[in-house]
Structure 1
Amino acid sequence: MTLVLEEGKPVKLNHNGTYAIVAITKHGVELARHLQANFHQTDLFYMSKFEKGDESDRNISLFEGNVRMLLPSLFQSYKGIIMIISLGAVVRMIAPLLKDKKSDPAVVVIDDKGKHVISVLSGHLGGANELTREVAELLQATPVITTASDVQKTIPVDLFGSRFGWVWESADKLTPVSASVVNEEHVAIIQESGEKEWWTYDKPLPETLKIYPTIKNAIEAKPKAALVVTHRNLTEDEQVILQNGVLYRPKVIVLGIGCNRGTSKEEIEQVILDTLQELQFSIKSVKAICSIDLKKDEEGIIEVAQKYQWEFMCYTAEELNTVQLELPSETVYKFTGAYGVSEPAARLYSGTHSLSLTKKKSGNVTISVGIISY
C-alpha cells in the first residue's frame, strides 16, 4: 500500500511496531531496511520511488509526497521515530509538533551513511538516549548524546529510579534540581525506602551528591537541592527540604486485603484510602494488593487493582498458613482454610515480619499493610 501525503489530510498508518523508521534517500533506504531487519518492533516508511517489490512481505509502507505531512501521524502513533534525514531538516519539520517532554515521542536522527546516531528529542523521558545507544550499537555507529547528566555520568533527575518504577510527587522542581546536579552544587540525597542499586556508573558517587540518613540531617546541612525517596508523607517541618527538591515515590507498599464476598469496589477503595491517610503513606507508593486465592475473582478487589494499576497477588491457604500469626482465627479457618488472610498475605509479599499495620477491620474489609525492605 502506498500512502499519498496531502496537505491537511490525515494519514491512516499500517501501525504494528513501537518505533517508526523513516528514510527519503537511496542510501537512507538501504540503511533503513537493514535497521528494520535487525531491530524488532519497528515499522519502516520510505518513498515509493525506491520500491523494491518485497515491501508487503516485510510490512514496509511506501509514501508519495512531502515527508513532513507524515510526521503528525507518526508522533501520535509511535513511542519513538528514527529518521534517516539531515538534522536541520528534522528540527524544522518537528518544531510545530512539539508539546512537552512528558508526551513528545523520542526522535533519533541518523546520517545518510550511518556513521552517527543523534538523540534529538525526549532524551530522558521519551527514551531517545537509550534508543540512540541501541541503534548505534546495531549499526556500529557513534552515538551522539548531549544531555548533561549523561555526558557527566551523574543522576538524571527526571529519570531517577524510573527503572524501578519510582514516580515523582511533583515535577515542579525537576528543572532547577537538575541544574544543581549538573552544575555540581551540593545536592542532598535521602532515601527511606525503595531499591538501593540506583547508582550504575563505574565510578564513585560525585562528592557534590551527599547521602544523609534523615531529612533532618539534610536540612541542617543546607544543600542547594535535594532528592528525597520515601513512601511516607513529609511532616510540615520536613517539607522545607522540598523548596528546591524532588520527592520520589518508590513502589514498596503492600496491601493485604480480606473481604466478604461481593464487597463493592467503592468500599474497598475507601478503606484503603482511609488507612493510607491514617498511616501517612502515599498512595503512589502502593505496589500490590494481596489476598487468598478464593478471592482471585472478587470483582471489587480486581476493579480497585485495575484502577490504580496495582498487581493483584493471591496465595493458597497452605501458603498463608506457613506464616506464624500471633492471633490465628478459627473463624477465618472455618471459611477459608487459612488462619488469616490479610496479615499473612501482606507478610508473604513484602517479605517482612513486622507490618506497618498488622490488621484492621472496617465494615466488610480487613486490611494489613507491609513495606518491602531492600
Structure 2
Amino acid sequence: MIELQEGIEPVVDQHNQYAIVAITKHGVQTARNLHRSFVHSDVYYMSKFEQGDEQQKHIQLFTGSVRMLLPTLFKQYKGIIMIISLGAVVRMIAPILVDKKTDPAVVVIDDRAENVISVLSGHLGGANELTHEVASALNARAIITTASDVQKTIPVDLFGSRFGWVWDSSDKLTPVSASVVNEEPVAIVQESGEKNWWHLKTPLPENIKQYPSISKALEAKPKGALIITHRLLTKAEEAILENGVVYRPQNVVIGMGCNRGTSADEIEQVILDTLQELQISIKSVKALCTIDLKKDEQGFLQTVAKYGWDFKYYTPSELNIATIEAPSDTVFKYTGAYGVSEPAARLYTGSDDLALVKKKSGNTTISVAVISHNE
C-alpha cells in the first residue's frame, strides 16, 4: 500500500516501462482490462477499489491524492496512461513538466474507455504511438493532434528515428517543423542512410521535394531543409542550415587493430583524427570491429561503451576470407590473420569499397567503411 503524503516522495515498485493510473470505479476496471493485454505495464489505483487479487497481479494500491504520485511516476516511467479527465491531468502535470526531450509520454483515457488521447511528448516521448497501441487494445478511438501526424507529413523531430538516425543539432527542429506543416517549400537531400523512410501510403506532400545534392537544393532556395548524410558539410554547403537539420544515419564502421594495452584515449584520438581527415561525422559511426583476440581489450571496450557503438570481433579464419589489399605476414605470425582492421570493416559492411583501406597510427591500425543502403 502506498500512502501519499505531502512532502514525502512515495516508493513505488517499478517492473515495466509504462504505468496505468486510475481513480474511479470504471477507470479501475479499464485499467485491469488494459493490464491483461498491455502486459508491459504497472497498474496503480486507489485502495478503496481493492478487489483482493492485487498482490497476485502486482497491482499497487494507494491512498491520498494521485497528484502526489505523479512526480515519482514521471521520473521512473517511459510512459504514463491515466484514466482521469483530461483537464485534471493537465492541471496535475503542469508543475512537473521539464523538457520535451525528457518528459515521459502521457496518454489519457476517458472514463468510458471510448477515447484515448495523446497529451504529452507525442513524438519524442512516443505518446502518439502509445496512444494507437492502447486504443487498439481497448477497441477505442485514438485522438492525435500533432500537426505532422494529422497532415500525413514528415515529423521532423522523429525523422529516421526508427533507423537510429540522430540530429547534428536540435536548434532548427522547431522552425523546420513549422515549414513542413505550414506547407512551405522544404528540400530533402539524402547522401546516405536507409531509403525507405517514407512509410505512409499517401504520396510525399507536394511542398517537400528531393534534390540530388545540397548545391541543387540551395539553388531552389527552400524555406527549410532536411539533410541526411554521414559527411561533414563544406563551408559553402552550411548555408542550407540557415533553416535546416542534418541527420546522421548509422552507417560508418571502424575496423581497428592495436597493440595490447593501448589506451582508450589513444584509440579515441586516432578515430577522431581519421574521421576528420575523411570529413565523416563521428555521430554516424555504428560499430567498431576487430579480431577476437582483442575482444577483451580495455581500450576498445571503454571506447565503444563511451559512444554506444556495436563491438564486433571475428576469428582469424573469418578475417582471412575477406579481401585484404595489403596482407601482412607479420600480423599472420602473431594473430593467424593476414590483416585485422581492413577485413573486419569489410566483413561487417559486406562491402569491398572502403573509405579508408588501412592507416597505421601509433599503436593502432584503422580502416573505415560506409554501409551502402539500396532502394
TM-score, normalising length from structure 2?
Answer: 0.98
SS of the residue corresponding to residue 248 of structure 1 reads strand
How much identity, in percent, do the aligned residues show?
69
Aligned to 2:120: 121
**How far 1:227 sits from its partner (Å)?**
0.1
Aligned to 1:350: 349
1:258 and 2:257 aligned: yes
Inter-partner Cα distance in structure 2 for 1:204 and 1:294 = 50
Inter-partner Cα distance in structure 1 for 2:58 and 2:300 = 41
Q: What amino acid sits opposite 1:236 in the alignment?
A: K
SS of the residue corresponding to residue 289 of structure 1 reads strand
Kindly tell me the number of residue pairs found equivalent between the two proteins.
373
Q: What amino acid sits opposite 2:161 in the alignment?
A: S
- 1:52-131 to 2 correspondence within 5 Å? 52-131=51-130
Aligned to 1:190: 189
Aligned to 2:312: 313
* Deviation readout 1:333-361 (Å, 9 max, x if unpaired): 11111111000111111222111111010
Aligned to 1:18: 17
* Deviation readout 1:77-102 (Å, 9 max, x if unpaired): 00000000000000000000111100
- 1:150-165 to 2 correspondence within 5 Å? 150-165=149-164
**How far 1:324 sits from its partner (Å)?**
2.1
**How far 1:322 sits from its partner (Å)?**
1.1
Q: Give the stretch that moved more between structures: 346-355 or 64-73.
A: 346-355
Inter-partner Cα distance in structure 2 for 1:303 and 1:41 = 32
Q: Give the stretch that moved more between structures: 127-136 or 202-211.
A: 202-211
TM-score, normalising length from structure 1?
Answer: 0.99
Q: Give the stretch that moved more between structures: 116-125 or 267-276.
A: 267-276
Aligned to 1:240: 239
Inter-partner Cα distance in structure 1 for 2:55 and 2:25 = 19
SS of the residue corresponding to residue 254 of structure 1 reads strand
Cα pair 1:155 1:181 within 8 Å, conserved: yes
- 1:276-315 to 2 correspondence within 5 Å? 276-315=275-314
1:176 and 2:175 aligned: yes
Inter-partner Cα distance in structure 2 for 1:148 and 1:349 = 39
SS of the residue corresponding to residue 175 of structure 1 reads helix
Q: Give the stretch that moved more between structures: 8-17 or 75-84.
A: 8-17
SS of the residue corresponding to residue 321 of structure 1 reads helix
Aligned to 1:137: 136
Inter-partner Cα distance in structure 2 for 1:3 and 1:258 = 55
**How far 1:318 sits from its partner (Å)?**
1.2
- The runs of at least 4 consecutive aligned structure 1 residues that moved more than 2 Å come to none
Inter-partner Cα distance in structure 1 for 2:39 and 2:158 = 24
Inter-partner Cα distance in structure 1 for 2:325 and 2:166 = 36
**How far 1:326 sits from its partner (Å)?**
2.2
Inter-partner Cα distance in structure 2 for 1:34 and 1:309 = 38
Cα pair 1:226 1:246 within 8 Å, conserved: yes
Inter-partner Cα distance in structure 1 for 2:233 and 2:39 = 44
Inter-partner Cα distance in structure 2 for 1:70 and 1:273 = 46
SS of the residue corresponding to residue 69 of structure 2 reads helix
Aligned to 2:34: 35
* Deviation readout 1:224-277 (Å, 9 max, x if unpaired): 100001111111100000000011111111000000111111111111111111
Cα pair 1:351 1:373 within 8 Å, conserved: no
Q: What amino acid sits opposite 2:173 in the alignment?
A: L
Cα pair 2:323 2:352 within 8 Å, conserved: no
Cα pair 2:331 2:337 within 8 Å, conserved: yes
Q: What amino acid sits opposite 1:288 in the alignment?
A: A
Cα pair 1:215 1:238 within 8 Å, conserved: yes
Inter-partner Cα distance in structure 1 for 2:192 and 2:278 = 15
Inter-partner Cα distance in structure 2 for 1:327 and 1:251 = 27
